[in-house]
Amino acid sequence: MLRYAIVRGALLIAGLLVSSVLIFLTLRVFPGDVAQLIAGTQASPDQVDALRESLGLNRPLVTQYTDWIGGIFRGDLGTSLLSGASVGEELFLKAQVTIPLGIMALVIALLIAVPFGILAALLRGRRGGTALSVGAQALAAVPVVWAGMMLVVVFSVWLGWLPPQGFPRTGWSTPWRAIQSLLLPALTIGIVEGAMLMRFVRSATLQAAGQDFVRTAAAKGLTRTRALIQHGIPAVGLSIVTVLGLQVAGIIVGSVVIEQLFTLPGVGRMLVADVGTRDLIKVQSELLVLTGFVLIVGFLVDLVHRSIDPRQREAS
Amino acid sequence: MIPRWLRRLWATPTGRFGLVVVALMALTAVVSLAWTPFDPQYSDVRNRWAVPSWPHVLGTDDTGRDILSLIMAGARTTLFVSLGAGVIATVVGIALAALGALTARWLRETIAILVDILIAFPVLIIAMMISSVWGGSLWVVIWAVGIGFGVNIARVTRPELRRVQQSDFVLAGRAAGLTAGQSLARHLLPNVAPVFIVQLSWSMAVAVLAEAGLSYLGFGASVVEPSWGILLADLQRYIGVHPLSVVWPGLAITITVLALNLLGDGLREATDPTIRHRSGPRAPAQTHTPEVVA
């Protein structure tokens, strides 16, 4: 286990390094003259020079890169080119919307995927099972933006239960209103992600049903369904853990689009705005934080999976 | 003579649905070049927000443009983006898989690790990296999906390639004097093609969703290009007053993506020898649209 953790940890560090280099290269090196790009075509050569100087773009690339990474290790994510505000502080503020949104979406996705996935497997070959599978297949094809719009039409326009967009200015000091405004966005991401996860749960359950230990339990007198629920479901839980990393990546991506749709002041909307205004220093740090988050979640998921699966624990 | 895989594909209702709908969408895209019920950009100002009825079958938008015509023209963009992304994903996928399977050990392992790392990059993140430098356009979508899904294809194709590489007929071919390149072209690629084509179908589904999502965010099609994502963004502004009109472009996207996914599933079942028999436990579903963007 320790050996595995070390090897996997080395891969994580390699991943973080490769991503940071890729992001740095794409945003700083490939575009050619970054200062010109940021200043725009209207700027005079003097202005561009001044900008280049103030950004430290005259220094060697390696120095620029190590400065950036060094700053991140010290907790300094840089400052915005446009407002001069600290990127770290802004990210911290926006994360207070995005992280609760992500957690709510994940919970909703699991609440949908696990019971319906198992049910679809149990009812395989019958009308109900087919209907569930077709429904999941269709829902997984729905674009998140459109799912959000449809939920707005139903719950805000027709029923008037929930706000169609926005987040209370008062933030989490009015927790009820904050949760209310995150409910539809979280439901949107949760339903679409849940539909994808449900198909996975279904086939994992079917696979578990074919395993020897489930057949043995059935042979010893349990009904097939009971044998599956008592002995097969833990194995299903295990395989859900393996795709959890993918789910988290899906939720992050979904939140970028959904925060735009519901005008939520979160990390995703901040990133979209910064890409639009070409605040490259900010975008660079934000992208690294997001990919770093995805990579770290993947690492943790692998460790958890390794430590709870008895077969794998012995193998290492 | 109809090939066997096609007959197998046609034998399942889902495979048939996928094939027919994908063909219809492609046809719509081609037809829209020559004919749409109305000019998609023509504003019939006296007929703003017409409800679905003759002659505006799906109604009109805020400036009186015919929604059906806009959707037909949007199919063109969708087809262009998904084909473009498919081509790039193929090139990236084959290149990385071949490098990861057939080269010297150190290079092979390095590429494999690199692919494992790159696979964590969601398509949307790649798209944002590209468009923060070069601005938004349909090419951003094509490159982002192409690279993002190409890595996916490489990961699935590589083990397959290594398996085929060790089979007797490939070894015999090499012994008889085929160069590595000849062996790749004549023996290896044709034998991994089924795995590959399935992935391609799924990558096109991702491309359709990505085009809609990225265009919605403003990183894809420009506002004057016909696009389902742009149409969604346009109609969303009036969602409180005219909720029905938003339904159509979303349905078009959903049906197309569903058809491409089903086509991929059907192709997998039609070409994969391990799931030829319908009884017994099936291979676990692949989460083939993991980092869907839209």
Instruction: Please tell me which of the candidates B121, B123, B129 has its beta carbon nearest to residue A27.
Output: B129
Q: Please enumerate in sequence order all residues whose Cβ is within 8 A of that of A94, keeping only pairs 6 or more positions apart, or say none.
A: A265, A266, A267, A269, A270
d(CA A99, CA B107): 39
DSSP state of A86: B
List all residues of chain B from 203 to 222 with a beta carbon under 8 Å from chain A: 205, 209, 212-213, 216-219
> Is the CB of B129 less than 8 angstroms away from the CB of A295?
no
Closest-CA residue of chain B to A138: B258
d(CA B257, CA B54): 28
pLDDT in tens, A223-274: 877 877 777 778 788 888 878 878 888 898 889 999 999 999 999 999 999 8
B293 touches chain A (CB under 8 A): yes
Identify the pLDDT of residue B277. 46
d(CA A224, CA A234): 16
Closest-CA residue of chain B to A258: B294
In DSSP terms, B248 is beta-bridged to none
Identify the pLDDT of residue A312. 66
Identify the pLDDT of residue A248. 87
> Is the CB of A26 less than 8 angstroms away from the CB of B217?
no
pLDDT in tens, B217-268: 988 888 888 889 888 988 888 887 888 888 899 999 999 999 999 998 888 8
> Is the CB of B120 less than 8 angstroms away from the CB of A142?
no
Q: Output the six-digit token pair for B15.
A: 């495979």
Q: Output the six-digit token pair for B13.
A: 């209702």
- Which range among A8-22, A33-47, B70-84, B248-262 shows the weakest confidence by mean pLDDT? A33-47
Q: Output the six-digit token pair for B116.
A: 């494992």
User: What's the whole-number mean pLDDT along residues A29-39?
Assistant: 73
A:B CB pairs within 8 Å: 172
List all residues of chain B from 111 to 170 with a beta carbon under 8 Å from chain A: 113-114, 116-118, 120-125, 128-134
d(CA B188, CA A37): 45
pTM, full prediction:
0.86
With a cut of 50, which residues of chain B have pLDDT below it? 276-294
Residue B116 with chain A: CB contacts under 8 Å: 11, 15
Chain B nearest-CA distance from A294, in A, is 7
Share of residues in chain A with pLDDT > 70 (%) = 97
DSSP state of B283: P
Residue B122 with chain A: CB contacts under 8 Å: 249-250, 252-253, 294
Chain A nearest-CA distance from B285, in A, is 6
Instruction: Please tell me which of the candidates A19, A153, A250 has its beta carbon nearest to residue B243.
Output: A153
Closest by CA to B218, choosing from A269, A199, A233, is A269
Residue B247 with chain A: CB contacts under 8 Å: 150
d(CA B220, CA B113): 31
> Is the CB of A260 less than 8 angstroms away from the CB of B236?
no
Identify the pLDDT of residue B53. 76
Instruction: Return mean pLDDT, chain A.
Output: 85
| CB crowding A47-79: b at 16 or more within 10 Å, else e | ebeebbeebebeeeeeebbeebeeebeeeebbb
User: What's the whole-number mean pLDDT along residues A146-154?
Assistant: 91
Angle at B239 between CA B56 and CA A184, to 5 degrees: 140
In the predicted model, is pLDDT for residue A203 greater than 70?
yes
> Is the CB of A157 less than 8 angstroms away from the CB of B239?
yes
Share of residues in chain A with pLDDT > 90 (%) = 23
Q: Write out the H or E segment, with its range, that includes residue B234.
A: helix B228-236
In the predicted model, is pLDDT for residue A119 greater than 70?
yes
Q: Output the six-digit token pair for A145.
A: 């933006």
The single-letter code of the amino acid at B23 is A
For chain A, the straight-line distance linking the first and the last C-alpha, in angstroms and rounded, comes to 6
Identify the pLDDT of residue A231. 78
Identify the pLDDT of residue B258. 93
> Is the CB of A271 less than 8 angstroms away from the CB of B293?
no
In DSSP terms, A79 is beta-bridged to A86
Chain A nearest-CA distance from B183, in A, is 32
Chain A nearest-CA distance from B143, in A, is 13
List all residues of chain B from 268 to 287 with a beta carbon under 8 Å from chain A: 280-285, 287
User: What's the whole-number mean pLDDT along residues A293-297?
Assistant: 89
Identify the pLDDT of residue B33. 87
Choose the mutation target among B78, B110, B124, B277 for the interface with A, i.e. most A CBs under 10 Å.
B124
Identify the pLDDT of residue A315. 57
In the predicted model, is pLDDT for residue A295 greater than 80?
yes
> Is the CB of A143 less than 8 angstroms away from the CB of B282?
no
User: What's the whole-number mean pLDDT along residues A268-288?
Assistant: 88
Instruction: Please tell me which of the candidates B133, B262, B281 has its beta carbon nearest to residue A206.
Output: B281
Choose the mutation target among B17, B81, B287 for the interface with A, i.e. most A CBs under 10 Å.
B287
Chain A nearest-CA distance from B184, in A, is 29
Identify the pLDDT of residue B279. 41
Q: Write out the H or E segment, with its range, that includes residue A228.
A: none
In the block, tokens 């990390």 appear at: A267
CB B119 within 8 A of CB B240: no
d(CA A187, CA A147): 9
